[in-house]
């Protein structure tokens, strides 16, 4: 049999609880299901009880919300009317009990620990009722009947002897599915409601698994398992597939909230494997925890954990040196006060003992220790007992650290290079944990530095700034989002989007921006920007392996390239302005990139996603010489000439190209040949010729007068050309020819213009918005190389930009 525990987030909504039902009913063996309260309910119960005890009527609103949440969940997931009514009545009975208790608190304006324990029990009591009713062939058990506790140092402690005996008696015949409310328990003598502490549902499941010698204990939560670090701080953190009980215990004690620390011991004692699984991603392998230590892994440490609210208590005095029993008195006093210590550091001279506690326990710790050592303080043997706040504790954990030289040196060297001072540190003889205390303001920096040092060799990282989120930029971000995981898994490449800007706003986050909601982030968190501010933001970040991606058509953004390249930031541009601008500026960008060892790539400037520029560079770098280029480079114009028919005049075809987004927002840019001229200039330069736009001979097919005035003027007057083009179309149809707007470069001489091509010409069958280029070289002379395909469209252009980004990483 197995024990499965489902946390509050796993059953927090109708959709998630139905998913839980599917997971449980797919099990082919007897199963005990331990369930937490619905997500957030325990906090709500505690808040309500405090409000009521303070005489604050707002508790009623919270109570009504809680009541409605549970009853609405029943309405959504229990489909059989009679069953739904019965369950609603049972849950309403519990809610009425809760309401009466809260009313009593409101009247007396006081709350005892016993009453608080009763109140917080209602979350699991209601959730277990709902889940047991939802499941087929399930039987509900009351944990108060077999999880037995006694009170020690203001906490409920499990009486394992009695608990194990009661479990064996009650679960002698296991039903197909048993449902048990987690967290809650009963006092061993009075049977009053008690609990196992926050996170205690995990503990309930582990106690049951050990008592019944389960095959496995599964903890179902909302993460993929134990992570190498907190993913909220380090977005490159990843799930750990296998670890030992010791490693899991160490990480849990130092802040990893995946599993409640006491959960581990009962399973460890009987070597019952623990599997951490994600309810919302059940296909993920999760984290498998056993006694077996992996000795062949590449990583010496398994994970980094931290506690942000740390206070360091220091007991100092020369009178402590050589005195036996000082530490015994320190920790005995703390234990009697119910204070948990999670790290101890002592000077070898014995004149100082420091230990770490939670901030909430700091004042009480100092108080009880001053009371304990009052005689020594009065005599000056101990001259200081103080609490230092504003600290954080970090632990690196891994059983493979044992007897591995250099781990501590690497750790402290990494922190030192980051300018982080260590206030206290500790390492046990087991060498599975190195813990240290730092100022809390350095926590994020420390975690990132350590994770970079110990883990990030797992991936090559590109940190990407993108400006322009229109059709191309938006598609690019979507393509990156959908491909990020695959690139990490199969190519060891991590694409980290650290900045996104549109014409007005910018968001920057060196941890990476969530591409699922970047538009909302830009709208709500974006800061106003200009090209100059954009440059300052990127240069000040000074992040490694940076790539600036320009998906605008802005001259002012293109003017930033040289500055970025000179600061070792690669540039990928869909923007044609820089590569087609003055030749000297183009040459400077190319030379700066070469000298700095970074990339200036603009494949999509010509042919969208077609590999034209890369192919030409490969030809030249291999010793070939490009002699001539002939190309149809405007997907817009090719679409127009392929669309014109007796039913679709020129003006209508232009409008269709605009609506299909093949053309620029102002189609005159395409019709004037400006876009084709820019592309021809870029290709000619990449072929090795010093060409400027004014060097190109233009043979245009629409008179200049149509390009004067506004866009509205153009759209009103261009139908005047329809009749002329219809006559030409008929003539071409009779001759078996078609129009193509052709760009040519012949040994550095460039021209663009309308040409008639017959059926024997490679350009004749060019369809839709496709582009084609014939490259004549010394090697490809008699039979030129031909590249043909989609030459317009946001998706293929974005894919071409994506390909340039990938090429910077030099992966295959």
Are the C-beta atoms of 143 and 202 separated by less than 8 Å?
Answer: no
DSSP character string of 631-665? EE--HHHHHHHHH--SSS-HHHHHHHHHHTT-S-S
What distance lies between CA 655 and its chain's CA centroid? 42
List helix spans (H) across 152-309. 160-170, 200-211, 245-253, 264-269
Query: Which residues have a Cβ under 8 Å from the Cβ of 494 and sit 6 or more positions away?
Result: 236, 459, 460, 461, 462, 484, 487, 488
Phi, psi angles (nearest 5°) of residue 390? 70, 35
**Helices of type H across 54-196:** 58-77, 81-108, 113-134, 160-170
Euclidean distance between CA atoms 516 and 589, whole angstroms: 34
- Residue 387 has what DSSP assignment? E
Phi, psi for residue 196 in degrees, rounded to 5: -100, 10
DSSP code string of 311-379: EEEEEE-GGGTT-TTHHHHHHHHHHHTT----EEEE-TTSSEEEEEEEGGGHHHHHHHHHHHTHHHHHH
CA dihedral (483, 485, 488, 493) in degrees, to 10, reads 40
C-alpha–C-alpha distance, residues 720 and 264, integer Å: 83
Task: Name the burial class of residue 730, with classes exposed (0-12), middle (13-18) and buried (19+) by CB atoms within 10 angstroms of its CB.
Answer: exposed
**What residues have CB less than 8 Å from 762, skipping those under 6 apart?**
772, 774, 786, 788
Catalytic residue among 5, 188, 277, 679: 679
The backbone region for 545, taken as left when phi is positive above 0, alpha when psi lies in -120 to 50, beta otherwise, is left
Q: What angle do CA 633, 637, 639 make, to 5 degrees?
A: 105
Which residues lie closer than 8 Å to 507 by C-beta, 6 or more apart?
499, 500, 501, 513, 518, 521, 522, 525, 526, 527
Closest CA to 180 of 224, 220, 243, 131: 131
Pinpoint the alpha helices (H) of 240-280.
245-253, 264-269
Which of 477, 512, 493, 481 lies closest to 233, judged by CA? 512
Active site residue 679: yes
3-state secondary structure at position 782 = coil
Cα–Cα distances (Å) from 446 to 306, 386, 398, 400, 799, in that order, read 10, 25, 18, 22, 37
Helix (H) or strand (E) holding 221: strand 216-221
Q: What is the DSSP string of 391-428?
A: EEEEEEE-GGGTT-TTHHHHHHHHHHHTT---SEEEE-
Of residues 570, 526, 508, the one with CA closest to residue 545: 570
Instruction: Please tell me the total number of residues recorded for the chain in this structure.
Output: 812
The span from the CA of 534 to the CA of 42, in Å, is 45
Rounded distance, CA 258 to CA 223, Å? Answer: 8
* CB of 579 closer than 8 Å to CB of 767: no
Q: Which DSSP state fits 239? A: B
Active site residues: 679
């Amino acid at each position: 049999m197995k024990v499965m525990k489902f946390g509050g987030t796993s059953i927090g909504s109708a959709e998630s609880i139905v998913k839980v039902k599917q997971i449980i009913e797919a099990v082919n063996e007897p199963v005990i299901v331990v369930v937490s309260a619905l997500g957030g309910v325990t906090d709500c119960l505690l808040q309500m009880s405090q409000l009521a005890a303070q005489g604050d009527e707002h508790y009623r609103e919270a109570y009504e919300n809680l009541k409605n949440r549970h009853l609405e969940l029943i309405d959504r997931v229990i489909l059989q009317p009679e069953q739904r009514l019965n369950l609603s009545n049972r849950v309403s009975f519990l809610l009425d009990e809760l309401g009466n208790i809260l009313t009593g608190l409101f009247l007396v304006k006081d709350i005892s620990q016993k009453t608080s324990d009763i109140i917080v029990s209602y979350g699991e009591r209601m959730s277990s009722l709902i889940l047991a009713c939802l499941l087929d062939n399930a039987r509900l058990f009351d944990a108060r009947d077999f999880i037995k506790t006694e009170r020690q140092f203001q906490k409920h402690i499990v009486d394992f002897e009695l608990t194990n005996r009661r479990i064996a008696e009650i679960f002698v015949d296991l039903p197909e599915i048993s449902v048990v409310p987690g967290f809650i328990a009963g006092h061993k003598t009075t049977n009053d409601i008690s609990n196992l502490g926050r996170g205690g549902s995990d503990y309930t499941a582990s106690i049951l698994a050990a008592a019944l010698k389960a095959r496995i204990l599964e903890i179902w939560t909302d993460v993929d398992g134990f992570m190498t670090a907190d993913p909220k701080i380090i977005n490159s953190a990843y799930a750990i597939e296998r670890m030992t009980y010791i490693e899991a215990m160490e990480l849990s004690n130092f802040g990893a909230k995946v599993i409640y620390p006491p959960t581990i011991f009962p399973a460890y004692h009987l070597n019952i494997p623990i599997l951490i699984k994600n309810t919302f991603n059940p296909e993920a392998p999760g984290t498998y925890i056993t006694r077996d230590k992996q000795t062949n892994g590449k990583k010496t440490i398994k994970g980094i954990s931290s506690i942000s609210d740390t206070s360091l208590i220091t007991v100092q005095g020369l009178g402590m040196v050589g005195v036996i029993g000082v530490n015994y008195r320190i920790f005995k006093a703390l234990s009697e006060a119910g204070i948990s210590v999670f790290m101890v550091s002592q000077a070898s001279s014995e004149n100082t003992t420091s230990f770490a506690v939670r901030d909430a326990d700091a004042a009480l710790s100092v108080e009880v220790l001053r009371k304990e050592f009052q005689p020594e303080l009065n005599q000056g043997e101990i001259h200081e007992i103080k609490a230092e706040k504003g600290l954080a504790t970090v632990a690196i954990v891994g059983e493979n650290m044992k007897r591995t030289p250099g781990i501590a040196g690497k750790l402290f060297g990494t922190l030192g290079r980051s300018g982080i001072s260590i206030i206290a540190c500790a390492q046990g003889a087991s060498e599975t944990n190195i813990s240290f205390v730092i100022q809390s303001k350095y926590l994020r920096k420390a975690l990132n530095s350590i994770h970079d040092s110990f883990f990030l060799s797992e991936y090559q990282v590109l940190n990407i700034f993108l400006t322009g989120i229109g059709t191309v930029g938006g598609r690019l971000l979507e393509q990156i989002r959908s491909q990020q995981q695959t690139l990490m898994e199969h190519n060891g490449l991590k694409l980290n989007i650290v900045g996104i800007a549109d014409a007005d706003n910018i968001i920057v986050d060196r941890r990476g921006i969530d591409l699922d909601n970047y538009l909302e982030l830009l709208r709500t968190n974006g800061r106003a920007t200009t090209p100059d501010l954009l440059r300052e933001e990127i240069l000040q970040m000074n992040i490694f392996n940076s790539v600036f991606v320009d998906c605008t058509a802005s001259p002012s953004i293109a003017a930033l390239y040289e500055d970025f390249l000179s600061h070792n930031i690669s540039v990928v541009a869909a923007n044609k302005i820089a590569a087609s601008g003055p030749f000297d500026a183009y040459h400077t960008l190319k030379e700066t990139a070469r000298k700095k060892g970074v990339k200036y790539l603009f494949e999509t400037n010509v042919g969208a996603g077609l590999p034209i520029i890369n192919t030409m560079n490969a030809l030249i770098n291999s010793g070939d010489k490009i002699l001539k280029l002939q190309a149809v480079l405007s997907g817009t114009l090719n679409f127009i000439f392929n669309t014109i028919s007796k039913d679709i005049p020129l003006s209508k075809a232009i409008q269709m190209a605009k609506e299909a987004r093949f053309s620029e927002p102002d189609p005159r840019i395409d019709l004037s040949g400006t876009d084709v001229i820019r592309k021809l200039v870029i290709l000619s330069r990449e072929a090795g010729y010093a060409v400027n736009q004014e060097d190109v001979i233009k043979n245009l097919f629409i008179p200049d007068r149509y390009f004067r005035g506004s866009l509205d003027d153009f759209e009103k007057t261009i139908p005047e050309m329809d009749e002329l083009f219809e006559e030409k179309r008929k003539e071409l149809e009779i001759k078996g020819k078609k129009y193509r707007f052709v760009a040519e470069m012949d040994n550095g001489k460039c021209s663009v213009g309308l040409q008639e091509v017959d059926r024997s010409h490679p350009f004749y069958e060019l369809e839709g918005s496709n582009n084609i280029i014939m490259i004549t070289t010394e090697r490809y002379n008699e039979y030129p190389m031909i590249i043909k395909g989609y030459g317009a469209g946001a998706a293929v252009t974005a894919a071409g930009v994506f390909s340039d980004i990938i090429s910077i990483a030099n992966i295959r």
